[in-house]
Structure 1
Amino acid sequence: MLNVITHDAVTEINLARLPVNALNVDLLRAIRDAVDGALAAGARGLVLSGAPGMFSAGVDVPALLGCDESGVRDFWREFFRTCSKLALSPVPVVAAITGHSPAGGAVLSLFCDYRVMAEGPFKIGLNEVQVGLVVPESIQLALRRIVGPYRAERLMVAGAMVDSSQALAHGLVDELTNVEQVVTRSLHWLEGMLALPSNAMLTTRAIARADLTDIWGDPDALPIDQFLEAYFKPETQAVLRALVARLKKKD
């Protein structure tokens, strides 16, 4: 489900849940445990990576559709806790976006310090609206602080999926490179950060991220009722089930 790889002072947490790194409760908890383990072992930086061509396909929709209301609420709490774990990391985190990154995959990258994406025909975006889901304010904030209010509105309201070159132009990612070099470039960026005077860098980073950490300090307190209400609407359920049917036809 995960590969944890040590690169000197940096730990790479590599998503390895076949076939597309779909996010379920077990993978979300594993990511958090890996972050905690890396920090406990003294890691000074983290890289979150995926497979070549696929960072994460987002939420495991077939599994989620099989849950009752309590199970769905539990899943989204686990997802928010994982976002919080990345947002509150005391060390810099880079999202090594090794390919496609729709919905939940894109959301996780928002809480990292820096985003390196594979160049080419890969798509990234918060396409929640396209499947009838509301983007909560806590996630909207994370996108706004990266791309600005107007661009965030345009991307979220349309549920837009953009290719890597558009993502770079919008500021949604910071750097493009070929797919084989995404992790290498992520490590290179972290090396530059870790070469700086540590206290000055980390304290300045903490001040700069205070808006994010204030909102995400207690993920269990975040309001998700509006989000869950949208999830259970017949329109949303129909769109999600149609999506799953299309995916099954591809298999």
Structure 2
Amino acid sequence: MLDLIRHGEILELNLARPPANALDPELVGKLRVAIESAPAHGVRALLLSGRPGMFSAGLDVPVLLRLDRNGMTAFWHEFFGLCAALARSPIPIAAAIGGHSPAGGAVLAIFCDYRVMANGPFKIGLNEVQIGLSVPGNIQFALRRLVGTYRAERLLVVGAMVDASEALRVGFVDEVVEPEQVVPRTREWLEGLLKLPAQAMTNTRHIARADLAEVFADARAFAIDEFVDAWFSAESQATLKALVARLKGGK
């Protein structure tokens, strides 16, 4: 489900939940724990990866639709906790996006320090609106940091999915390389960062990401109940169930 691969001072967190690395409660919990515990084990940087062709398909909607309100409340607390772990990590995190990265997959990527995406027929985006969900303010903030206010609005409101070249053009990702180079190049970027004077790099990074960290400073501001209400709304449930039906029909 989550493979931990050590590369010296870099720890690769490889999403390994076939077929699409969809985020269910267990994977979200394991990923959060791995991120939060890494510095205590001598890790100086994290590399988040998926499988060739698929970084993460986002939330595991079929699994989540089976949860009751208490279960969904617990899940959203854990998911926003994962976002907070990424946003507030004391060590750098880079995303090796080897394939498609919709919705929750894109969320993981935008909270990282750096994003390397595979060239090819792959798309990335926060397409929550298309599947009947709104995008929380703290996640919208993270996207605005990358692409700017107006561009973020245009992408978010229609739930746009963009290919690698467009993602690079608008600043959604930092580099586009051939698929087989995604993980090596991401690792190379992190290694370059770790060669810099450690205290200067760490302090400067802390200041540069202070705005992002502040968004997740208080868990009480996450509006979990409001988001759970939206999840169980008639519109969202109908759209999500229609999505699951289409997925089943495509098998």
TM-score, normalisation: structure 2: 0.97
SS class of match (2:58): coil
Please show how residues 55-74 of structure 1 align to structure 2 within 5 Å.
Answer: 55-74=55-74
Using the TM superposition, give the Cα deviation of residue 40 of structure 1 relative to its aligned residue in structure 2, in angstroms.
1.6
**Contact 1:99–1:123 (8 Å) recurs in 2:** yes
Q: Distance in 1 between matches of 2:115 and 2:219?
A: 23
| 1:49 maps to 2:64 | no
Please show how residues 65-214 of structure 1 align to structure 2 within 5 Å.
Answer: 65-214=65-214
- Match for 2:2: what amino acid? L
Provide closer, same or farther for how the CA distance between residues 23 and 220 of structure 1 changes in structure 2, counting only shifts above 3 A.
farther
SS class of match (1:227): helix
Listed one character per residue, the Cα deviations across residues 146-199 of structure 1 (whole Å, up to 9, x for unaligned) are: 111011000000110111111111100000111111110101111111111111
Q: Distance in 2 between matches of 1:232 and 1:25?
A: 17
**Contact 1:53–1:122 (8 Å) recurs in 2:** yes
Using the TM superposition, give the Cα deviation of residue 233 of structure 1 relative to its aligned residue in structure 2, in angstroms.
1.6
Deviates more, 1:241-250 or 1:213-222: 213-222
**Contact 2:14–2:49 (8 Å) recurs in 1:** yes
- Match for 1:175: what amino acid? E
**Contact 2:111–2:142 (8 Å) recurs in 1:** yes
Please show how residues 203-242 of structure 1 align to structure 2 within 5 Å.
Answer: 203-242=203-242
- Match for 1:152: what amino acid? A
SS class of match (1:180): helix
- Tell me, which stretches of 5 or more residues in structure 2 are unaligned? none
Deviates more, 1:132-141 or 1:151-160: 132-141
Q: Distance in 1 between matches of 2:97 and 2:18?
A: 16
Match of 1:246 in 2: 246
TM-score, normalisation: structure 1: 0.97
Q: Distance in 2 between matches of 1:229 and 1:41?
A: 39
SS class of match (2:30): helix
**Contact 1:87–1:212 (8 Å) recurs in 2:** yes
Using the TM superposition, give the Cα deviation of residue 229 of structure 1 relative to its aligned residue in structure 2, in angstroms.
2.4
Using the TM superposition, give the Cα deviation of residue 240 of structure 1 relative to its aligned residue in structure 2, in angstroms.
0.6
**Contact 2:62–2:244 (8 Å) recurs in 1:** yes
Listed one character per residue, the Cα deviations across residues 194-244 of structure 1 (whole Å, up to 9, x for unaligned) are: 111111111010001111111112335411333222222212111111111
Q: Distance in 2 between matches of 1:219 and 1:103?
A: 21
Dislocated runs of 4+, deviation >4 Å: none
Deviates more, 1:228-237 or 1:81-90: 228-237
- Tell me, which stretches of 5 or more residues in structure 1 are unaligned? none
Q: Distance in 1 between matches of 2:219 and 2:187?
A: 29
**Contact 1:102–1:161 (8 Å) recurs in 2:** yes
**Contact 2:36–2:89 (8 Å) recurs in 1:** no
Q: Distance in 2 between matches of 1:58 and 1:164?
A: 17
